[in-house]
Structure 1
Amino acid sequence: MTDHPAPEDPELERLRSELRHLRARAQTHPLISQAQGILQERYSLPDGESAFALLQRASQQHNVRMRQLVEAVVRTPRPDHRSPLWFPQRTRLPAPPLTFPAARRSTSRDEPNQASVLRAVLSQTLAVLDTPMGNVQLPDRVRGGLRLEQHTGLTDDFVDFFAHVGEKGTSCSLAAQNVAQVTVHDVESDPVFDEASRHAILAAGSRAAHSVPFVTASGVCVGMVSAHLDHRLKGVSEAQSDALAALGAQAGQWLTWYNRTVLLDALEYLHALGTHHRGTAGRRR
C-alpha cells in the first residue's frame, strides 16, 4: 500500500497548478524578453521594464493576449522610423459575419474578441457532435505546431500534455497538415497517435475524436477545433461534416481578419506609444 496522496488532495492540486504556471512562464518569458529587447533598441528605451509597460498598454488597449502581441513584435518587419505609422498602406476592413448559433448568442451584446469567438466555435462544434469535451488550438508562430487556446471538459493532465503539439503524432496535427477534417473512430487503435499522446488522451476519458481545421479563403490552416467523445465513434454524418466545414471556414475567415486588423491595430498603437515615449522610462500598470 502506498502513501501517495489521492488525486483530489488539495496540496497535490496546488502543486499541479503551480507547475502549470511555471511551465507557461518558461515558454512565454523568453519571447517577452526578446520583444522587450527589440522595443528597447527601436525606441531608445532605458530598460526592459519600460518596454514591457508599452507592451502591456497595447495589449490592454486592443484586448490582445500578451503572447500573441509579442509574437507579432518578434515576427513582423520593423516599421520605417521616419513614419508615424507602422503600416501606412493598410486598408482596415470590417469583421466578417459569424452566422452559427453559438456565435450569435455569445457575441450579440459586445464586440467579439478572439477569446469569445474561439469559445463560440468550440461550443458549436461540441453541439454538432453531441459531446462535452473539446479544445481549440492556434498555430504557434515561433515554435511551429499548435498551442492550446481554449478547452472544456478535459482533465488538467490533458491540458498540460497538449499545451503544445508538434507536426506529428496527433489527429489535430494531421488535420492541420492535410487541411482537412480527421475522424478518429477509436483512439486506442488508431495509428495516427504516438504512444504518449494516445495514453494521455485515453487517460482523459476520450475514446474517439474529430478535428476540424480553420481554413482561409486561400486554403491555409489558421487554427483547429477538436471534439473528444467518451465512446468509440462509428462515423460523422455528411450533415455534421458539412456543418463543421462551414464552421471551420467562418472561423478561418474571422481569424484572418483579426490577424490583419485587430492585431495590426495593436502593433500600430504600440508604435505610436514607442514613438511618443522615445528615450523615456515607463512602468507597467
Structure 2
Amino acid sequence: MGHCGVRTTLFSCRSRRERPPTRLPEPQGGTLAMSMRDEVDDVTEQEWRAWLARRNRRAARGVVRRAEAVLVERYGLEDLLAAFSLLKDASQQFNLKLHTVADAVVRVSAPEADSRDWFPGRDHPLPPPLETLASRQVRRSAPLSEVLGAALGRTLQVARADRGHVHVVETGMRRLARSTGLDEPFAEYAAFTRGEETAWDRAANEARQITVPAAPDSDLFTRAASRAMWDGGCLACHCLPLTPGRDGALAVVTAHYRRPLGAPLSWSRLATMDELGSEVGAWLSWHRNTIVLDALEYLHHRAYDV
C-alpha cells in the first residue's frame, strides 16, 4: 500500500528457513546463468568464489563484445580491437565506464545510414538540480560516480545504515557502481545481478521502494543471493530505485543492516528517500541523454575517420 506519494514498500519472508545454495552450475555463454535455483549442498567457499569470478568475467565481457560486433559491422572496422579502441577512447574522453559506453552502443538506435551525425539537432540542457544532495556538496555538473556516491551516502544516512551499494540499470542486468562497507565476497556476488535475483532487482523492475526486514529468509532473494547476504552479515535491507518520473529506474540504491529490522521504516524517512530517488533519477536521465549520447556522437565521428 502507498502513502503520501511514496511508492509501495513490500515486506516478504519465507515461512521457513532454507539452507543457502551450494552446488553451482557452470555459467553459460550467451544467456548467462546468473541465478542458481537448482543447487544442492556442499559447495566450498573456494568453489563459490571461483564460480563468482567466472560469472563476473563473462558478464563484464558480454556487453563489450556485443558492442564491438555492432561497431565492426556498422563501420566496416578491421577487427574487434579497432572497435574496442573506439569504445575505450570514448569512455576516457567523457569520464565514463567502458561498460556504460558499450551498453549505450547496444541499447541506442543506430544512426541514419551515411549520416555524419548520430543525433543531429540534439539539445544540450543544463543538468537538473540536486537539492537533496546539497548537504554533500555535490555539483550538478559532477561526474556520474560522484553523484551515485553522494546518493548512496545520503540514503544510508536517512535509512540509518552503515553499508550499502548502488547498481546502475543496463541492458539485461544491474551493475554494481558504488559500494561501502561490503566485504569482498559479497561485493563479488553483487557485481552483476539480473532478472529478479534480489530485492534490489525487484525494486528496479517495479520502480518502488522495498524493505526486507529479514533478508536471508525472504523470498525476494534466490538461494544464491541469500547465501551472499548471510555470509556478508547483511540481515535486512531497504532498496530505493532512482526513477525519473514515469520512466523505469535507472539505478537502485540498497541500504544493508547487520540485524533484522524490528519495525518498518517511518513514512517520513520513506518520503525523504522517495524525493531523493526522483531527483537523482531525473539527473541520471539527463546524464544518459546528454553525456552518454555525447560519447556516442564522439565515437561515431571517430569511426568515420578510422
- The TM-score with structure 1 as length reference comes to 0.82
Distance 1:150 1:53, change over 3 A: same
2:94 to 62, 71, 75: 62
1:127 to 153, 157, 161: 157
Q: Contact conserved, 2:56 with 2:192, CA < 8 A, in 1?
A: no
Alignment of structure 1 residues 104-253 onto 2, 5 Å: 104-107=136-139, 111-141=141-171, 144-233=172-261, 234-253=263-282
Q: For 1:187-223, what per-residue CA distance to the aligned partner results, in whole angstroms no more than 9, with x for missing partners? A: 2443323333222212111121111111111242221
**Runs of at least 5 residues in structure 2 that lack an aligned partner in the other structure:** 1-46
The answer to whether residue 64 in structure 2 is matched with residue 32 in structure 1 is yes
Superposition deviation, residue 96 in structure 1: 0.6
Superposition deviation, residue 169 in structure 1: 4.1
The residue matched to 1:100 in structure 2 has which SS? Answer: helix
Distance 1:270 1:27, change over 3 A: same
Q: For 1:80-99, what per-residue CA distance to the aligned partner results, in whole angstroms no more than 9, with x for missing partners? A: 23322101132221111111
Distance 1:17 1:56, change over 3 A: farther
Q: Contact conserved, 2:49 with 2:185, CA < 8 A, in 1?
A: no
Superposition deviation, residue 262 in structure 1: 0.5
The AA in structure 2 aligned to 1:267 is L
Superposition deviation, residue 106 in structure 1: 4.0
For 2:220 and 2:97, the matched residues in 1 are separated by 32
- How many aligned residue pairs are there? 261
The residue matched to 1:90 in structure 2 has which SS? Answer: coil
Distance 1:17 1:150, change over 3 A: farther
Q: For 1:58-90, what per-residue CA distance to the aligned partner results, in whole angstroms no more than 9, with x for missing partners? A: 111111111111111122222123322101132
Instruction: Compare 186-195 and 170-179 and name the one that shifted more.
Output: 186-195
Q: Contact conserved, 1:125 with 1:244, CA < 8 A, in 2?
A: yes
Superposition deviation, residue 22 in structure 1: 5.7
For 1:51 and 1:176, the matched residues in 2 are separated by 31
- The TM-score with structure 2 as length reference comes to 0.77
Superposition deviation, residue 253 in structure 1: 0.4
Show the counterpart of 1:90: 122
2:303 to 253, 264, 274: 274
The AA in structure 1 aligned to 2:271 is D
The answer to whether residue 132 in structure 2 is matched with residue 100 in structure 1 is yes
Instruction: Compare 61-70 and 218-227 and name the one that shifted more.
Output: 218-227
Superposition deviation, residue 39 in structure 1: 2.1
For 1:91 and 1:251, the matched residues in 2 are separated by 20
Distance 1:24 1:232, change over 3 A: closer
Superposition deviation, residue 149 in structure 1: 1.6
Show the counterpart of 2:108: 76
Q: Contact conserved, 1:86 with 1:268, CA < 8 A, in 2?
A: yes
For 1:190 and 1:21, the matched residues in 2 are separated by 25
Distance 1:49 1:191, change over 3 A: closer
For 1:189 and 1:42, the matched residues in 2 are separated by 48
The AA in structure 1 aligned to 2:225 is S
Instruction: Compare 267-276 and 74-83 and name the one that shifted more.
Output: 74-83
Q: Contact conserved, 1:102 with 1:123, CA < 8 A, in 2?
A: no
Instruction: Compare 46-55 and 268-277 and name the one that shifted more.
Output: 46-55
The runs of 4+ residues in structure 1 deviating greater than 6 Å are 15-21
The residue matched to 1:212 in structure 2 has which SS? Answer: strand
Q: Contact conserved, 1:119 with 1:150, CA < 8 A, in 2?
A: yes
% same residue: 32
Q: Contact conserved, 1:98 with 1:104, CA < 8 A, in 2?
A: no
The AA in structure 2 aligned to 1:214 is L
The residue matched to 2:250 in structure 1 has which SS? Answer: strand
For 1:171 and 1:75, the matched residues in 2 are separated by 25
The residue matched to 1:221 in structure 2 has which SS? Answer: coil
Superposition deviation, residue 16 in structure 1: 10
Q: Contact conserved, 1:215 with 1:221, CA < 8 A, in 2?
A: yes
The AA in structure 1 aligned to 2:294 is D
